[in-house]
Amino acid sequence: MRHPVRSARVLPLIALVVAASGCSWFHKDARGDYALPAESRPLEVPPDLNLPDTSGAMKVPTLASATQPANAPSAAAQQAATKSGFVIKGDRDAVFSAVGDALADVPGLTIASRAQLLGSYDVSYEGSNFLVRVVPTEGGTYVSAVDPRGLPAVADAPVKLIATLKAKLGG
């Protein structure tokens, strides 16, 4: 015959083993999202692809007026083209304004257009059409005559006008 005290000790032991052995009554479903159907699973994105690369997103371009243009003449080119240009001390905007005033006083000269942002005047003088450019350089501001091809204008009319501007502006 069985002893009732012995059964009383074994019964809690059996209950403890059943509870700890993984009975679904005593713990949550730990299968997670992988057990869901494929269309119900959340999208998995690798950590480095969660955010876009923004390392170069806030680069501010340099202003053309803040730097010397790539086609601006170097010091050697300025010396070679002294007939079609000269350097004057001063801020580009102030020199641009002074060049405009000086051009207005030249008899026989017509200003077709002016572009302060580009630093140029489109002029017609003694039958020649060319640009008078005002470009910032290291030593001040370079005032020059440029032909329609973008090369220094060395014809008689542009050279004469540059000499007149140089005398008026003190360059």
pTM of the model: 0.52
Which residues are within 8 A (CB) of 88 and not within 5 positions of it... i.e. 6 or more apart? 95, 140, 141, 143, 169, 170, 171
Q: Is residue 56 part of a domain?
A: no
Q: Are residue 87 and residue 156 in the same domain, yes or no?
A: yes
Task: Confirm whether 33 is domain-assigned.
Answer: yes
In angstroms, the CA 42 to CA 39 distance is: 8
pLDDT per residue as tens digits for the range 86-106: 999 999 999 999 999 999 999
Give the Cβ contact number of residue 11 at 10 Å.
Answer: 10
Q: What is the pLDDT of residues 101-127, one digit of tens each?
A: 999 999 999 999 999 999 999 999 999
Confidence band for 67, pLDDT divided at 50, 70 and 90: low
- Quote the number of domains for the chain: 2
Same domain, 83 and 160: yes
Per-residue pLDDT of 130-163, as tens digits, reads 999 999 998 899 999 998 888 898 889 999 999 9
Q: Is residue 50 part of a domain?
A: no
- Asked whether 49 and 40 are in contact (CB, 8 A), the reply is no
Same domain, 26 and 100: no
Residue 153 sits in which domain range? 75-169
